[in-house]
Structure 1
């Protein structure tokens, strides 16, 4: 079986999950090179990979991703840089004929997200966006219940991300919390749960209204935000995101309410079923809760390994990845609409054709 040749661009906080995902798919994946503008970070991640895959050759390291792409034969690049560079780097790689897994958010503007999707099509390469929590066992079970219409009419859903990100977190990497390279708690921390909420409630948005502000952290963007979404099917989504919870992360929850069912999922990475009730009563609720209580060590969960496996299968079978660019754009678009709503004080009606976080920097 072919082992696909991986490269990682950006060796910061999240990149260790990419290392693990490649190593855990080692029958079909091999890390051959890494790049970071701070070369020592790439060296450290290369050493981590060798500890997990000691039989492989030592990955080469670079500080210039364009030089790396010119010198190395690469099948798939993972982009884990600052958010503001995701689209530029992904497009450059795809124009080289290389498949891309891009960390969330895929871009910080609608225009750039659309360019990424078009570039993938033009170059006949795969683009996957890292919304890895879709692969959580509890989330997959919930998704099946939605697809099987077990809720009947879905009325509403809530996504709550109640975390703590102190100033040490923001000072560790100066791009965090900036409008040009990041956004605030909605774009950085909440986007995974927003993706799950819109996925369960129907995806097609009618309008978005939001209030957000910067209360405690000395950053440009918001450290607390609330969003209300009206979907075209009539259901309503409510989002609450905070980086200000004292004294540490509290919880991340996803709740879906319908005429014939209620499901509540919590845990550190929306990985634990707390409530599972349906009118049809097909399962033993206690057993469902017992069987769906994953316990990851971080908020990143276990999903990266499955997301990488799915991308490998998509390349091998020449099919779309489970979370392609079109899917990856949905949560990002909701957040950009929320930012626009903050600017105008009014609901934003979809489709939203052009908006970016950089427009916020001119007003806040």
Structure 2
């Protein structure tokens, strides 16, 4: 039985609590922590939890009975809290994005290795049946080499969204929609298609004059084999339609699931390749559904890894790589230059200080509400 603590009892924490409660034979929640302890107390009451409540994560570092901690605080706090926990001998599951800079990600991974503890980064949308099936379909190579990929990370957030005290600033949120919303799809894209060799990007703030950060960005990625990918990150798209499309030389597949295949007529124009479409569709249909999805799926993966001594699907090194691609998008969009990957210490957006100094500031943040009364959030579709 693993004892679990949760730090940060804001909008995303119920997803963690509900997931842990799904596995009472594997874990028990024993502590909640928030700088507003009344929020933690309210959540304990809401979920009928018998827990200790803290207002500072350092107060629980000496508790030897805590095995695993979910870190659900704002991104700028992730590095310090995670390193403190790892150095105290605890395993950590940290919400996305992993941190505010590549430098911080490196320090977190070093702490995990130094203490021989698990560090996992939330990427809950990997743990959905359509994504797992798409991964396996792509691995068959039936589509041929991928020549173009399209990532539409479309979300919508009202003007008041950025009134919350830590949102909408380069210092505390670390970026806008590219970092804090599209991170889901950028992680999956990288998992499915690998890291590109260079990035060219633009970004803007079209609808949120209460935020320093972007509310839409478009990036073009180039791979060494000449293939391209485009990533659109947004909180200004009504309907929140999200998709990943992979165009191979022989066929295209996507999430939400769709398969189309073409073959060439004598004059070069397309005709339907029914045989290939059927083959791909049949393979997709035969793949098993996963037992637990979303946060439940990832937390089950973490609990299983800790109990059995296996590796997690999403570790700190993968979390770092996702942030590396996002940092390249920000550097390109802010400087107007194409950015080569991998990034080095010489890159302007390698550190938190470099990001804050070199990022484009669209507007001055003038509103800072401590907390909203409503706690409902959306965490992406299939």
Same fold (TM over 0.5): yes
Deviation at 1:167, TM superposition (A): 2.0
1:49 to 47, 50, 57: 47
TM-superposed deviation, 1:288: 4.5
1:281 corresponds, among 263, 275, 278, to 278
| CA shift in 2, pair 1:206/1:280, >3 Å | same
* Distance of aligned partners of 1:285 and 1:178 in 2 relative to their CA distance in 1, 3 Å threshold: farther
CA contact (8 A) 2:144 2:249 kept: yes
Tell me, yes or no, if structure 1 residue 252 matches structure 2 residue 242: yes
- Counterpart contact for 1:102–1:129, Cα < 8 Å: yes
- Cross-structure match for 1:33: 31
CA contact (8 A) 1:4 1:28 kept: yes
Which residue in 1 is equivalent to 2:128? 136
Please tell me whether residue 362 in structure 1 is matched to residue 377 in structure 2.
no
In the TM superposition, what are the counterparts of 1:1-364 in structure 2 within 5 Å?
3-50=1-48, 58-71=50-63, 73-171=65-163, 173-182=164-173, 183-201=175-193, 203-217=194-208, 218-245=210-237, 248-266=238-256, 273=257, 275-277=258-260, 279=276, 281-282=278-279, 284=281, 288=285, 302-354=293-345, 355-363=350-358, 364=361
Residue 280 (structure 1) shift:
6.1
SS at match of 2:279: coil
SS of residue matched to 2:29: strand
Q: Is the 8 A contact 1:19 1:48 kept in 2?
A: no
Deviates most, 73-82 or 335-344: 335-344
RMSD, aligned α-carbons: 2.3
Deviation at 1:233, TM superposition (A): 4.3
Q: Indicate if the aligned counterparts of 1:197 and 1:237 stay in contact, CA closer than 8 A.
A: no
Deviation at 1:95, TM superposition (A): 0.6
TM-score scaled by length of structure 1: 0.87
Q: Which runs of 4+ in 1 moved over 6 A?
A: none
- Return 5+ residue gaps in structure 1 as ranges: 51-56, 267-272, 293-300
What CA distance in whole angstroms lies between the structure 2 residues aligned with 1:287 and 1:316? Answer: 31
Name structure 2 gaps, 5 residues minimum: 262-275, 362-382
The count of corresponding residues between Structure 1 and Structure 2 is 337
What CA deviation, in whole Å up to 9, does each residue of 1:203-243 have, x standing for no partner?
A: 23211111002122020110111111123444322111111
Task: Give the number of the structure whose alpha-carbon radius of gyration is greater.
Answer: 2
Q: Would the alpha carbon gap of residues 232 and 127 (structure 1) be closer, same or farther in structure 2, given more than 3 Å must change?
A: farther
Shift, 1:315, TM fit: 1.2
Measure, in 2, the Cα distance between the counterparts of 1:322 and 1:118: 19
Q: Secondary structure at the match of 1:70?
A: coil
CA contact (8 A) 1:129 1:324 kept: yes
Note if contact 1:204-1:232 (Cα within 8 Å) is conserved in structure 2. Answer: no
